[in-house]
């Protein structure tokens, strides 16, 4: 559980920064435009639910895209699919910037997602190509530090853009970021999946490969745990704009500040995880953090049902939630992929697909249940319970 993959070296700073920048595409695309939800609704004559759906459709697109890219990266390597995906992402961002209706904005978000999905698959696959066990979990934690800058500053940056220009400028910024990621990938990211390792891999075997991965109890349990962890966080992301800005009457500036503080908690916890890995196994840390998510979800749900929610209380519990997920993400990812030795791209894709799909389902459930505080907290609590159950199954499968 501690060794590097054969022939690999400790990651260089440049290698880590490029991977982190690619990973940051997702959270930046999700978080930058959150403060603009009310403005988008007014400008495009859309409902709150329709604007929230632009988040859910992005995750559904990520889920679909990752399922497609996984076998492609196993067959054709990591670099070429990533370059194509980033180009598609840029085109989707520009469509969003020019969208005259909520329908075209949703279409642009789907195209963004289908392009951005390549990065989610390739980064995890590249890490697994080179590292295993604790080494992989440690690198995932480092990547969370790099990519964590995105959700920490995105809402504040989005608020500035909204005040200076308009919400459309946010998507132009995203297109520029995608172009920069494309350039750095072309110049600095090496191919980690050698041609010899691709021999015998056929795209028509995709369904069978995924079916085989689903039958791996330990892999699927940790992958589902990662998905439910992300879903708990996404319930917060989806519901927090209207919860803070409308129900709790926070100002856009205060909301951006609180969102940034919570993102900082996510990043800080991922770095604490690196220290914890020196003394504890990834599975132990993941189980502790999963129980914490369940407890925090229960407290949030109780506060909503008793109508005692306030900005200080909600902000404190959400901060604790993000810290717990900061411990869950790197360990769940490392544990899931450590059980796989072949078809790593497909395993990474299935892991990411489940994460995106359960995140999208989380956002959809929040909207279907009314979008209020009780709906948000109920989804967080339910997903926290699922995390704990998945960890129990994974531990039993590993015995």
SS3 131: strand
Q: Tell me the β-bridge partners of 4.
A: 131
Selected residue with higher pLDDT from 312 and 208: 312
Residue 161: other Cβ atoms inside 10 A: 21
Selected residue with higher pLDDT from 356 and 179: 179
The pLDDT value given to residue 201: 62
The pLDDT value given to residue 120: 83
Across 167-181, 211-225, 334-348, 360-374, which has the greatest mean pLDDT? 167-181
Selected residue with higher pLDDT from 178 and 130: 178
**311 occurs within a structural domain:** yes
Residue 158 has pLDDT above 80, yes or no: yes
**77 occurs within a structural domain:** yes
Give every CB contact of residue 3 below 8 A, 6+ residues apart in sequence. 132, 133, 135
**7 occurs within a structural domain:** no
**8 occurs within a structural domain:** no
Counted domains in the chain: 1
Do residues 152 and 264 touch, judged by C-beta distance below 8 A?
Answer: yes
Our CA dihedral for 297, 298, 301, 302, rounded to 10 degrees, sits at -150
Host H or E run for residue 251: none
Radius of gyration over every alpha carbon of the chain, rounded to an integer in angstroms: 20
Confidence of residue 7 (pLDDT cuts 50, 70, 90): very low
Residue 334 has pLDDT above 90, yes or no: no
Angle at 251 between CA 247 and CA 257, to 5 degrees: 110
Phi, psi of 5 (to 5 degrees): -65, 155
Q: What is the pLDDT of residues 46-75, one digit of tens each?
A: 887 788 788 878 888 888 888 888 788 877
Q: Which domain holds residue 294?
A: 13-195+203-398
Residue 179 has pLDDT above 90, yes or no: yes
Do residues 142 and 16 touch, judged by C-beta distance below 8 A?
Answer: yes
**266 occurs within a structural domain:** yes
Angle at 236 between CA 234 and CA 239, to 5 degrees: 105
> What are the angstrom distances between the C-alpha of 284 and each of 1, 47, 155, 290, 352?
13, 44, 33, 10, 22
**Assigned token pair, 314:** 């909600």
**255 occurs within a structural domain:** yes
Helix (DSSP H) and strand (DSSP E) numbers for the chain? 16, 0
CATH number at residue 275: 1.20.1250.20
């Amino acid at each position: 559980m501690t060794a590097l993959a054969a022939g690999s070296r400790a990651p260089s700073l440049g290698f880590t920064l490029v991977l982190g920048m690619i990973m940051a595409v997702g959270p930046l695309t999700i978080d930058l435009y959150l403060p603009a939800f009310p403005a988008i609704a007014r400008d495009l004559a859309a409902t709150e639910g329709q604007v929230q759906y632009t988040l859910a459709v992005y995750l559904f697109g990520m889920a679909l895209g990752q399922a497609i890219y996984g076998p492609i990266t196993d067959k054709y390597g990591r670099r070429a699919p990533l370059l194509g995906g980033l180009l598609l992402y840029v085109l989707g961002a520009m469509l969003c910037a020019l969208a005259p209706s909520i329908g075209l904005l949703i279409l642009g978000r789907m195209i963004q997602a289908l392009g951005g999905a390549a990065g989610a698959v390739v980064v995890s696959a590249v890490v697994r190509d080179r590292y295993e066990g604790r080494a992989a979990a440690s690198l995932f934690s480092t990547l969370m530090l790099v990519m964590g800058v995105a959700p920490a500053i995105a809402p504040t940056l989005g608020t500035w853009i909204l005040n200076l220009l308009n919400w459309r400028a946010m998507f132009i910024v995203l297109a520029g970021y995608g172009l920069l990621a494309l350039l750095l990938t072309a110049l600095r990211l090496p191919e980690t999946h050698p041609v010899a390792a691709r021999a015998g891999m056929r795209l028509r075997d995709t369904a069978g490969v995924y079916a085989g991965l689903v039958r791996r109890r330990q892999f699927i349990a940790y992958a589902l745990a990662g998905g439910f962890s992300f879903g708990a966080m996404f319930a917060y992301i989806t519901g927090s704009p209207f919860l803070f800005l409308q129900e709790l009457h926070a100002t856009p500036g205060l909301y951006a500040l609180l969102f940034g503080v919570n993102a900082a908690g996510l990043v800080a916890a991922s770095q604490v995880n690196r220290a914890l890995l020196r003394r504890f196994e990834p599975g132990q840390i993941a189980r502790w953090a999963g129980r914490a998510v369940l407890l925090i979800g229960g407290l949030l749900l109780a506060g909503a049902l008793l109508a005692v929610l306030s900005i200080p209380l909600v902000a404190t519990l959400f901060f604790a939630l993000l810290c717990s997920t900061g411990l869950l993400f790197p360990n769940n990812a490392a544990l899931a992929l450590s059980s796989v030795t072949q078809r790593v791209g497909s395993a990474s894709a299935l892991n990411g697909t489940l994460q995106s799909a359960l995140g999208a389902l989380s956002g959809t459930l929040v909207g279907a249940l009314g979008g209020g505080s009780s709906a948000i907290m109920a989804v967080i609590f339910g997903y926290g319970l699922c995390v704990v159950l998945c960890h129990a199954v994974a531990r039993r499968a590993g015995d």
